Amino acid sequence: MFEFAWPWCFLILPLPILMRLLPAVKGRQMAALKAPILHFHQVSDSDAHQPKSRLKLLLASLIWILLVISAARPQWLGEPVSMPTQGRDLMLAVDLSGSMQIEDMKVQGQSADRLVMIKHVMQDFIARREGDRLGLILFADTAYLQTPLTFDRNTVNQMLAETVIGLVGDKTAIGDAIGLAAKRFDQKEKSSQILILLTDGQNTSGQLEPMQALELAKQQGIKIYTIGVGADEMLVQGFFGYSKQNPSRDLDEKMLTRLATETGGRYFRAKDTTQLEQIYQELDALEPVSDENLQLRPLSALFYWPLAIALLLSFLIAIMPLIKPLFNRGEIKHG
């Protein structure tokens, strides 16, 4: 859509005519605007009928009109583009301790360890976080930031897909993971700050105890959702055949529940792939993506086109006195 940003500029369009109609003031020269308006005073009524004067008057008028059009800021507005508003700062903390390699999960009908299952399910969850800034923290003996908060969901997914068990040790530093998330959140603009922590064990390492990290999270208003990963039972082959064992006996559900409830979040239990998928669906409902979109219209400025034409016409008026003598000399030589 074409429009003028300052249409009121067209009010000055008849200014040269008004100034021509003003009576001359005795003792001083009547004020005149420079550039094209000046030509209206330079052309007398007796000369107005001469072809050269008429041409100069026409060019001056065109220049003035073009300058006014340029001052009115013509512009082209494109079609509206929906831009999602920022929803949340969401940090994912994933356990990479040795117990995450226990194969008590199934992915597409095949046995898989806990980390493979988390990667498989989180791909879709991350892809749906349009409008959120996502970050990724990996922890075992200690915690480190794999991906800072970003709108680039593809990068977060790729970084998660490239993680391997044992990358930073075999233990579980839950407190350090929460503390690192609190530190990274603190460096960003205040918004809805959410930490999703996935683990299959209890805090066995790190410099920061989970309850100390909890106080930091509460002070900064961070909401923690904790997810305990691991099946309740699995068949293990022994000397006397298969026996049922609880592969999640080290999972500290009491601590994970407290971390979540005291920050306004929730604790979830993911015993298989289906339950983890359901948990992410519940998180979508608890922390929905905002439906409000910011409507933006791309704008292209067009003022330089009439301005450039006015400049060319002004140049033409300036060189007209130089062109006429050249033609006269040519006529004399020809005669």
Q: Residues 273-294: pLDDT tens digits?
A: 888 888 888 887 776 655 555 5
pLDDT at 32: 42
**Residue 162 resides in a domain:** yes
**Which residue range forms the structural domain that includes residue 251?**
90-292
pLDDT(210) > 50? yes
Measured CA to CA, the distance from residue 56 to residue 238 in angstroms comes to 106
3-state secondary structure the chain: CEEECCHHHHHHCCHHHHHHHCCCCCCCCCCCCCCHHHHHHHCCCCCCCCHHHHHHHHHHHHHHHHHHHHHCCEEEECCCEEEECCCCEEEEEEECCHHHHCCCEEECCEEECHHHHHHHHHHHHHHCCCCCEEEEEEECCCEEEEEEEECCHHHHHHHHHCCCCCCCCCCCCHHHHHHHHHHHHHCCCCCCEEEEEEECCCCCCCCCCHHHHHHHHHHCCCEEEEEEECCCCEEEEECCEEEEECCCCCCCHHHHHHHHHCCCCCEEEECCHHHHHHHHHHHHHHCCCCCCEEEECCEEECCHHHHHHHHHHHHHHHHHHHHHHHHHHHHHHHC
Q: Which of the two residues, 117 and 245, has the higher pLDDT score?
A: 117
pLDDT(25) > 60? no
Q: Which of the two residues, 66 and 54, has the higher pLDDT score?
A: 66
Strand 81-84 versus strand 89-95 pairing type:
unpaired
Whole-number percent of the chain with pLDDT over 70 = 75
How many other CB atoms are found less than 10 A from the CB of residue 245? 14
CATH of the domain at 240: 3.40.50.410
Q: Which of the two residues, 185 and 199, has the higher pLDDT score?
A: 199
Give residue 3's pLDDT band: very low, low, confident or very high (50, 70, 90).
confident
pLDDT at 157: 93
Q: Which of the two residues, 331 and 313, has the higher pLDDT score?
A: 313
Q: Are 95 and 70 in a shared domain?
A: no
Whole-number percent of the chain with pLDDT over 90 = 31
Mean pLDDT score, 20-30: 54
Residue 169 region, left (φ>0) first, then alpha (ψ -120 to 50), else beta?
Answer: left
Paired strand residues for 276: none
Q: Which of the two residues, 33 and 12, has the higher pLDDT score?
A: 12
Give residue 298's pLDDT band: very low, low, confident or very high (50, 70, 90).
confident
Q: Are 176 and 67 in a shared domain?
A: no
Domain total of the chain = 2
Q: Are 303 and 254 in a shared domain?
A: no
Residue 178 identity (one-letter amino acid): I
pLDDT at 19: 79
Mean pLDDT score, 253-276: 90
pLDDT at 46: 46
pLDDT at 158: 93
The pTM of the full predicted model, rounded to 2 decimals, is 0.61
**Residue 85 resides in a domain:** no
Q: Are 47 and 114 in a shared domain?
A: no
Give residue 235's pLDDT band: very low, low, confident or very high (50, 70, 90).
low
pLDDT at 233: 65
Distances in whole angstroms, Cα of residue 48 to Cα of each of 21, 34, 43, 315, 321: 15, 20, 6, 21, 17
Mean pLDDT over all residues of the chain? 80
Q: Are 25 and 174 in a shared domain?
A: no
Q: Are 186 and 211 in a shared domain?
A: yes
**Residue 84 resides in a domain:** no
Measured CA to CA, the distance from residue 323 to residue 248 in angstroms comes to 96
